[in-house]
Structure formats: C-alpha cells, structure tokens
Chain A
Amino acid sequence: MSDRRLMRSLRTAFGVRRSPLRHGASWLDENLGGGSKLLRDELRHIFPDSWAFFLGEIALYCFILLVVTGIYLALFFHASQAMVVYHGSYQPLVGVPMSDAYSSVLDLSLDVRAGLLARQVHHWAALVFVGALMIHLLRMLFTGAYRRPRRLNWVVGLSLLFLVGFNGLMGYSLPDDLLSGTGLRIAYSITESIPFLGPTMASLMFGGQFPTSGIIARIYPVHIFLLPAGIAGLLGLHMGMLWLQRHTEFPGPGRDDRTVVGTPMVPAYALRTTGYLMLVAGVLTAFGGLLQINPVWLYGPYTPWDSTTSAQPDWYMGWLEGAVRMMPAWDIQIGSFLLPAVFWPAVVLPGLIFTPLFLWPWLDGMALRDHGFYNVLTLPSERPGRAAIGAGFVTFLSVLLVAGGDDVFASAFGLSLPVLLRTLQVLFFVAPPLVALFTYLVFRRRSQRWLATGR
C-alpha cells in the first residue's frame, strides 16, 4: 500500500509520463550524485568489433557460469574424508566404504535434482574456460596485442591462465574418486622431487606424508574461495585496464594508433555481449545436459592400492602429463643426494615455458628494438617472426599433449608404445623449429607479394 502511494507521489513529483527506465535512471542520478555523470559518459564507450575479441568474452562468461554452478554444487558437497558406507542409489557401490566427500559427490550426481547437470556444466565450463584463455593468448601472440601500453595486462592475463589451470586441477581433485586421488598422488611426488626443499614443501602442502586425511578439507577453501577470489580480482584488473585503455583494433579505414573505431557500449555492444553470455551459457548447458563428463561413479573411491589404465588428466594438464611420460628415466645420483628425473619435465619445463611467456612483451620489444605505443594490431604477414614463434609454440604444446595420451593413441591406432614414445621424443625437438620456419617462409612470401602487388 505505502509503496504504491510512494510511487504515486514520486510520479506526481517527477511528471506522470516518465518511462520506468527514465524513472530508474533519475533515481540513480539522485543517489549517485555526480557519479552518474561517469556512467553517462561511459554509455558511449567505444568497442571495436571483431570475432577475435569474442575469445576473452567466452572466458569471462565461463567464469560466471562456473561461479553459478559451483555455488549449487557447494550446497551438497561434503569436504570430509571421514569414512562412510555408501547407501545411495548407485547399486554397484552400495555397502562400499568410502570417504564422505566421494559419497556426497555420488549423491549430488545421482540423487540431487539437476545435480549432475550442474556438475557436468561446471566441468565443461572449466575445460572451455582454459581453452578460451589459451586461444585468447595465442591471438594476442599472433597479432602483437601485448605491446605497450598493454604489457602489464598481458602479465595479468597470463597469471589468470595460471590460476585458472591450477584451480581446475584442484576441482578435479575434490571428488576423491580414483582418478582425483591418483592426480594428487602425482602432484605430491612432483613437489617431493624439488631439490632440498621438496619433501618439506610436500609435507606442508598436504599436511603430512601422502595420503593425508585432511587434504580434501584443505583443497576445498582453496578451490571455492582463495583461487576464485584471485581469479575474480585479476579479471577485474584485466578488464579495468582494458576499459581505461580501450580495446586494440585491427587495421582498417579510419583506424590508427590514436583513433579507436567501433560500436558504442549502449545499445549495440551491451546487447550483443549479453547475448553472447547467454549463448555461451546455453552451449555449455547443452554440453552438460547431453555429453557425459567425468562419471566418477564408474571410477570408484580412491585408495592408495588401486590404480587404473588409460587414466587421463583434464586436457589442459595433458601437456604436463605428456612431458612426464616422455622424459627418459634419468634419476641423477649426486653423492648421497638424488635428483629424480620427474623434476625436469614437471618443475623445470613449466618454468621454462612460463618465464619467457611472462617476459614476452619485453623480449619482443628488445628483439625488434621497438618500445612504442600501439593500439592497432599487426597481421601475421606484417610480422612473420611473431607468427613463426606462435606456430612453433603451438606445435611444441601439441607434441606434449599427444604424448600425454600416448597409451590411448598407441592402442587406438595399433602402434607400439615405445616406438610412438621415441617418435614423440624426436618430434619434441624437431617439430617446433620446422613448423616455425615453414610458417615464417609462408607469411614472408605473402607479405612480399603484398608489398609488390598490394594484394
């Protein structure tokens, strides 16, 4: 009653024929004071338009979907390794002792309404999230988008990739099924392999010698709070910088390093991107509803005395798995000390990959002796070197990814595993430079033709 009276008096005060939109906006005007001027100016914020800019949006929308589905899952998940006996609706495991965590994942998958949908959408969204980030990163790499003034934002984006991949690993570990426990066992052993500090680091991280009874309870807040908060913060920083600096743009008429050309945020961009959010959510929901992923009830609970064939990590960890599989068995004995072979592929190699990636904008600037400000992107034919390095990098990761599933590929194509492994070991060194050289020659020829004929 009083609400309606208030509305009536407000309408009288502001003139009767105001639209609800206008009405809400003037409420904001009054309550934000001068702040609403900022909003008003940003209505015309210019967004250059290209399919390539959709990649980052996919990643952002995956994060939103992960938060939404993750909240639903958190309502039903028990982060406890207390032993319980399963009495749910999945007959093959009835009466089997298992951790409360695994039992709760079975319940939320098979007995909670829309629980499996939420879990599968969550998993698919995580897989697509990392994929979108990686392709987004490659797009940056191929078009020189990381140059000044966006060097810092490159670092923020790469840190995001790092945190997102790590949180994916944490999520994979939570259900406490056979695969997730095996993954944790491997993570523990890799940490242990670090010279001098390894055993202590592993013990501090896991709360003792593997397997520990509190690791799920420890991973849980990391997975649902610590890392998501970090990811949300970095996403905010990433987009805040993007907002201040405006988007880069591909070369085109009227566009130069001082002039940004695109559609205004309201209405075109806002409508479009909200539509994309819904489309991404729709596609991932269709995946989650129709495509089975990580059916943990088939794997059984984790026990330290079980292991399974064809066990695979999520795809974005495949490169690391491949590196671990390809590394020859070179445990090095130094006096009374031991340097396990796994240290090289699992600790040193990621460092060798990520360090130059983080420094890439500065390395690129030094190599080209060019530290200028750029807002217009380069095309691969303009900078064949960038394309070559990008293509070589993709090849390198692809060889590792294939090696991560070497047993699956060997049995699928009837190959001998040792022969396949040796081939991949050779390709690891040979393929990236060859592909880089080939890419360089192709794009250089194209740029020469363009210079000569304008086509």
Chain B
Amino acid sequence: MAGLEVEDGEALSDPETGTHGAPPVPGGGSPPPARGGGLPPGWPAAIGLLATVVGSAGFVVAFVTNAGTAWLGGSLAVALLGLGAALAYWGRDLAGDEVISGPYPVPHDDAPGAAELGGDLEQSLGVITRRGALAKFLVFGAVVFALSQAVILGALGPWPGRSLFVTAWRPGRRLVTIDGEPVTRDVLARGGTLVAFPEGYTDAADSQIALFHFFGGEFKPQPGRETWSPEGFVAYSRICTHVGCAVSQYLDEAKVLACPCHQSTFDLLDGARPVSGPAGRSLPQLPLAIDSEGYLVAQSDFTEPVGPGFWDAG
C-alpha cells in the first residue's frame, strides 16, 4: 500500500504531468495590481475573519452572562460562518484557479506484467498454503473458536420462557388504580372508564387494563365469556396487539378504544375486535368478578398472551 502511494505521489508531483488548465480568473489568483480607491484583494476573507473575532467575543460574553440558547448559538454561528466563509473564499477565489492533472491508479489487469497482490501473497504465505490439510484445519479451528464465542450472548438476558404468557393477574386479586386505591363497584359510574392494575403490582406494565362500566344491555358478552363482565364491568388489556403502545384514547361516542401510535381502533362492545388500523388481533379480555365486599377482582389471569404477537403466541 505504501509502495502504491509513493508511486502515485511521484507521478503526481512530477511537473511534467501537471498541466495548468483554466486561465487565471480576473480578480482571483495572483493579486491584481492595486487600483486607486478599490477594495484590496481578499476583502471578503477579511470581513469573514472580522465576523469570527466578533462572534467569538460574543460567545464568551453570552456564556459568562448565561444568556439564552439563541444568543449562544447565534454568536457561535457567526464566528464559525465567518471563519468558514473566509477559508472557503481563500481556497476558491485566491487559490482555486490552479488546475492540475495526473494519472488515476491503474488496476493490475490493465497493465500487463504489473505486480499483482494475489501472486505476492501466494508467495509470502506459501509456508501455510503448501500444507493443504493443515491449512484447512487452521480455518476450521478458527471458525469453531469464533462460533464458540456466541454463548456469551446468553449472558445478555433471561430466556423468555413462559414470561410472555403470564401477567400479574391471579384469581381473586383486586383491581386497584395507579395510586393503589382498590376499585369497588361504586367507584366507577356507568359510562365511565379507568386504568387499573393488580393490587400490589401497579408497576407491572403487562398487567395494565382499561376498565369500563357499561349500561345494562349495552354490552353483549362474547360466547364463552358470559360470566366475565359482572354488572356491566368489562376489562381489556391496555397494550396494543400491534406493537405494544398503551391503547390510551377512549372514544366515548363510538365505544372504541384507539391507539395513538398507529391509529388502530378496537370495538369495545364486540370483544375489543380491531376495526381499523394495522392491529390484527383483539385486545385480550380479563375475566372479572365482584367479591362479597363489593371489590372488583380478577377471576384468573388473561386466557391469552397480552400485547403484540410473537411466534408461539398462536
């Protein structure tokens, strides 16, 4: 590689191959003879550098006086833009007219007899490639070693096991609000909704539910779920079955729950079936009961995995 660079470099720095293209632009290149009253050459660069000095001073003042972000950014921008404009002008208008040419590096197969990387390597690595079986074993050993290191991945986290199939809901566990207040049949008037968690698990993200209290006759239970909604109380998992955002928007008129992330909507009166948007499965329903003291409790855990789909959730 170094040889290549030297070779090209020599060719490039050879004055014979350098041709001077475009004629000097008036006003650029070598400074024109001073004209009476005109601005000196390079004045735009001087203005830029002046802006740099002013902007730098402004930034220091702004920083020391703890001025706002706009002052800090504005002064720093002036300094940087001034310096940038000065340098770019210098490079383009004071020195940019020198055009030279040189050869591109030539690929080996275009230049017969030129040294080829493969040939050199073959010669240098002959000590390995001559011993065919041993060389293959070397490759095999290296691959086995590399693959063996994959076990380290196992340290990164637990195997999911059954964790995606269970939540913190258990038979008889009470519903509480996010502040830990137990939910009784009197807490939520008909037509209302609240967010609930299992008692003692208000930080369990996968267990959050949206609780609704429907008017009599409004809600028709799904077949097989006739006992899950005592006195019109219905609870659905609040995690979207699409990609897991909290399904947080209740559209009272339409009786749908909507996910703000990708606009999936779920029909609450029809088992939280998805009616529009990219979600493909219903929100799981939590079987509810009301205990003898009037507290809302779960009959059991969800009967299907909550949240977005995965391979063995079917």
Contacts and interface: CB of A to CB of B under 8 A. Distances in A.
B99 A307 contact: no
Pick the most buried of B80, B106, B110: most chain A CB atoms within 10 A of its CB. B80
Interface string A184-213: 011011101111111110111111111110
Given A46-B12, A336-B312, A331 B84 contact: no
Nearest to B5: A38
A325 B74 contact: no
20 contacts: A44-B9, A44-B18, A44-B100, A120-B69, A189-B308, A193-B309, A198-B310, A203-B158, A203-B160, A244-B5, A261-B101, A268-B95, A271-B87, A275-B86, A278-B87, A289-B77, A340-B309, A340-B310, A341-B278, A406-B263
A197 B87 CA distance: 54
Contact of B70 (A193, A198, A289): A289
Contacts of B280: 329-331, 340-341
A274 B105 CA distance: 26
A98 to B, nearest CB: 14
Given A195-B311, A204-B154, A327-B278, 12 more contacts: A38-B9, A40-B13, A113-B72, A185-B243, A203-B163, A244-B8, A259-B103, A261-B100, A272-B88, A274-B91, A324-B278, A329-B242
Contacts of B12: 41, 44-46
Given A268-B95, A276-B88, A281 B80 contact: yes
A143 interface: no
Contact of A342 (B69, B153, B160, B278): B278
A113 B63 contact: yes
Contact of A325 (B70, B77, B245, B262): B262
Given A203-B159, A286-B81, A275 B91 contact: yes
B57 to A, nearest CB: 16
Interface in A239-285: 244-246, 254-255, 257-264, 267-283, 285
A304 B178 CA distance: 12
B91 A46 contact: no
A309 B259 CA distance: 8
B249 interface: yes
Nearest to B102: A46
A222 B249 CA distance: 35
Interface of B: 1-2, 4-6, 8-10, 12-13, 18-19, 21, 63, 66, 69-74, 76-92, 95-96, 98-107, 110, 153-154, 156-160, 163-164, 178, 195, 205-206, 208, 238, 242-249, 259-264, 274, 276-281, 307-314
Interface string A294-320: 000000000011111111000000000
A194 B309 CA distance: 10
A329 B262 CA distance: 11
Contacts of A113: 63, 66, 72
Contact-size category for A? 35 or more
A342 B278 CA distance: 8
A418 B4 contact: no
Nearest to A343: B309
B309 A331 contact: yes
A261 B308 contact: no
Sorted nearest first, the 5 A-B pairs with minimum C-beta distance are A289-B73, A41-B9, A278-B84, A275-B88, A272-B91
A25 B63 CA distance: 37
Contact of A329 (B76, B85, B278, B313): B278
A270 B8 CA distance: 19
Contacts of B263: 325, 406-407, 417
B76 to A, nearest CB: 5
A282 B311 contact: no
Contacts of B100: 44, 46, 261-264
A206 B164 CA distance: 14
Interface in A11-43: 37-38, 40-43
A338 interface: yes
B85 A285 contact: no
A117 interface: yes
Given A204-B156, A209-B163, A342-B308, A259 B102 contact: yes
Interface in A103-123: 113-114, 116-117, 120-121
A258 B104 contact: yes
Given A209-B206, A272-B96, A285 B242 contact: no
Contact of B261 (A264, A311, A337): A311
Contacts of B73: 117, 120-121, 285-286, 288-290
A190 to B, nearest CB: 7
Contacts of A114: 63, 69, 72
A255 B13 CA distance: 18
Nearest to A214: B157
B62 to A, nearest CB: 9
A351 interface: no
Nearest to B156: A204
Contacts of B244: 185-186, 188-189, 210
Contact of B19 (A44, A254, A278, A373): A254
Contact of B245 (A185, A202, A254): A185
Given A268-B95, A334-B314, A338-B313, A117 B102 contact: no
A209 B91 contact: no
A182 interface: yes
A244 B1 contact: yes
Contacts of A276: 84, 88
